[in-house]
């Protein structure tokens, strides 16, 4: 468990502080200034926002991937410009939140766990790529790896203090079979929902596409599998349009535990930072139980979500398969966004890449990086003549 926050605030580093998830992490830090102290921030290229955040939280360390370091940055006394690896391993850091997007999140997560830090991992690509290896690294170095996303956090909370056995873990989804029936008509065109969601950013689009193909749900399945040791076969995604129940766990004795909350990503972030305590808050939306008229759940017609099925199969296959799947998914999305393939052709790119891969069953860090690189190159070449 995290050390008691009563005596001293937890010192946080946020990797990807300028993104949507990173800004939610900072909103939680802002709400609990006595308990959380942000000491370091890292971003990709949005130096303006990073500078404002650095000034607001008076951080001592910053890092950014693209730019001219100090030349781009207003001078702040005592501010150190570091690499993400240097920042997350600094002795004063208690907790590292990895909220960046893409595989760049792997280095800080790996380094922080190697230094025995607590890591809150929100980055979906890194969960798929190396989740199993990161759990092992946390155990070997007395670090901790915790979930940030809504549904995996809910399942993890339901399982805390339970010795099992578990019959089924249910993760809920608001995107389901009925809505997926409308997808066929889109063919090579971008589905409307994807256009609506932050269409100016490539990775914002990726997140929206992952939500449509349900690859994001497969990533949540992976998180529960790696973190809680529940076999993939026992984790089921169900369509739940009311979006109130985040996850349910059915135990072998027939008891069910559920976690209900209004969807707001700040809640699982706060939970990961506060447990075993529960910090009182007035800023998060409350669930009005009496206003709930019904809760519905529907089986997912998995055959309508081929990318999801491939991703779950890769997690089940283990070894280097999930890393290959994650890279192939990114490349398939790139091909789709650049109009080289249609939306419904993405699963074929992923499936051909998985088929061509020679897996390593107990991969090292280097094996994962090699599999990622190979898969990006192979999947990128899968464009029909």
Ligand X SMILES: NC(=O)c1ccc[n+]([C@@H]2O[C@H](COP(=O)([O-])OP(=O)(O)OC[C@H]3O[C@@H](n4cnc5c(N)ncnc54)[C@H](OP(=O)(O)O)[C@@H]3O)[C@@H](O)[C@H]2O)c1
| Cα–Cα distance for residue pair 108/271, rounded to 1 Å | 22
CB-facing half-sphere around the CA of 381: CA atoms within 13 A: 7
| Among 10-18, 129-137, 230-238, 246-254, the segment contacting ligand X (CB under 6 A) | 10-18
CB of 19 to ligand X, least distance (A): 2
Asked whether position 45 contacts ligand X by CB under 6 A, the answer is yes
Nearer to ligand X, 220 or 382 (CB): 220
Residue 190 CB, nearest approach to ligand X (Å)? 17
Q: Please, what is the minimum distance in Å from the beta carbon of residue 87 to ligand X? A: 10
- Considering only the stretches 99-107, 176-184, 251-259, 351-359, report the one whose residues sit in contact with ligand X under the rule CB under 6 A: 99-107
**Residue 169 backbone dihedrals phi, psi, to 5 degrees:** -105, 125
**# binding residues, ligand X (CB under 6 A):** 28
Binding to ligand X in span 286-305, by CB under 6 A: none
Asked if residues 112 and 122 have their Cβ atoms less than 8 Å apart, the reply is no
Placement of tokens 């063919």 in the chain? 187
Site stretch for ligand X (CB under 6 A), options 97-105, 161-169, 284-292, 311-319:
97-105
Instruction: By CB under 6 A, tell whether 257 contacts ligand X.
Output: no
**Binding residue for ligand X, selected from 85, 144, 193, 201, defined by CB under 6 A:** 201
Q: Which stretch binds ligand X (CB under 6 A): 40-48, 188-196, 256-264, 271-279?
A: 40-48
Chain residue at closest Cβ approach to ligand X: 19
- Comparing CB distances to ligand X, the nearer of 45 and 255 is 45
Residue 155 C-beta: closest distance to ligand X, Å: 14
Q: H or E segment at 144?
A: strand 144-147
Residues 103-162 contacting ligand X, CB under 6 A = 104, 122-125, 149
Stretch that binds ligand X, among 95-103, 158-166, 233-241, 247-255 (CB under 6 A): 95-103
Part in contact with ligand X (CB under 6 A); list of ranges 164-172, 199-207, 234-242, 339-347? 199-207
Q: Strand 256-260 vs strand 245-251: parallel, antiparallel, or unpaired?
A: antiparallel
Contact 122, 149 (CB under 8 A): yes
If binding is defined by CB under 6 A, does position 21 make contact with ligand X? yes
Sole binder of ligand X in the list 10, 25, 26, 43 (CB under 6 A):
43
**Which distant-in-sequence residues (6+ apart) come within 8 Å of 279 by Cβ?**
32, 35, 270
Among 11, 20, 141, 177, binds ligand X (CB under 6 A): 20
Query: Is 377 in contact with 335 (CB distance < 8 Å)?
Result: no
User: DSSP H helical segments within the chain, as ranges?
Assistant: 20-31, 47-57, 84-88, 106-114, 124-140, 150-159, 177-180, 192-196, 202-213, 215-228, 266-274, 306-317, 321-337, 346-356, 365-380
Contacts of 373 (CB under 8 A, 6+ apart): 327
Q: Which of 207, 217, 240, 331 binds ligand X (CB under 6 A)?
A: 207
CA 234 – CA 127 distance, rounded (Å): 19
Query: How do the residues of the chain divide into helix, strand and coil, expressed in percent and rounded to 5?
Result: 50, 15, 35
Q: How far is the CB of 102 from ligand X (least distance, A)?
A: 6
Q: How many CB atoms lie within 10 A of CB 281?
A: 14
Q: Which stretches of the chain bind ligand X, using CB under 6 A?
A: 15-22, 42-46, 65, 99-101, 104, 122-125, 149, 201, 203-204, 207, 265
């Amino acid at each position: 468990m995290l050390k008691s926050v009563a005596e001293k605030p937890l010192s946080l580093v946020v990797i990807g502080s300028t993104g949507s998830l990173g800004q939610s992490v900072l909103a939680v830090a802002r709400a609990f200034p006595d308990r959380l102290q942000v000491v370091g921030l890292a971003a990709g290229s949005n130096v303006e926002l990073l500078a404002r955040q650095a000034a607001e939280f008076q951080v001592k360390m910053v890092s950014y991937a693209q730019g001219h370091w100090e030349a781009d940055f207003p001078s702040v006394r005592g501010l150190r410009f570091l690499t993400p690896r240097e920042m997350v391993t600094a002795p004063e850091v208690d907790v590292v939140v990895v909220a960046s997007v893409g595989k760049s999140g792997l280095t800080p997560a790996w380094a922080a766990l190697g230094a025995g830090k607590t890591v809150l991992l929100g980055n979906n690509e890194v969960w798929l790529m190396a989740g199993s290896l990161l759990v092992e690294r946390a155990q070997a170095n007395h670090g901790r790896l915790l979930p940030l996303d809504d549904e995996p956090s809910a399942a993890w909370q339901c399982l805390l203090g339970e010795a099992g056995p578990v019959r089924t873990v249910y993760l809920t989804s608001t995107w389901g079979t009925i809505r997926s029936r409308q997808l066929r008509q889109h063919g090579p065109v971008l589905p409307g929902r994807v256009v609506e969601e932050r269409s100016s950013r490539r990775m914002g689009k990726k997140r929206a596409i992952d939500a449509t193909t349900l690859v994001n749900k497969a990533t949540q399945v992976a998180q529960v599998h790696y973190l809680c040791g529940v076999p993939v076969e026992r984790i089921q995604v169900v369509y739940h349009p009311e979006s109130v129940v985040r996850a349910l766990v059915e135990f072998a004795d027939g008891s069910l535990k559920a976690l209900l909350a209004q969807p707001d990503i700040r809640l699982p972030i706060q939970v990961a930072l506060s447990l075993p305590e529960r910090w009182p808050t007035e800023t998060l939306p409350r669930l009005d139980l009496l206003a709930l008229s019904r809760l519905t759940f529907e089986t997912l017609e998995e055959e309508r979500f081929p990318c999801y099925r491939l991703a779950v199969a890769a997690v089940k296959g283990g070894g280097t398969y999930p890393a290959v799947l994650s890279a192939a998914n990114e490349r398939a999305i790139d091909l789709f966004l650049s109009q080289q393939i249609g939306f419904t052709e993405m699963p074929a790119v992923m499936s051909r890449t998985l088929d061509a891969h020679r897996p390593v069953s107990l991969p090292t860090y280097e094996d994962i990086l090699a599999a990622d690189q190979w898969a990006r190159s192979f999947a990128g070449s899968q464009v029909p003549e």
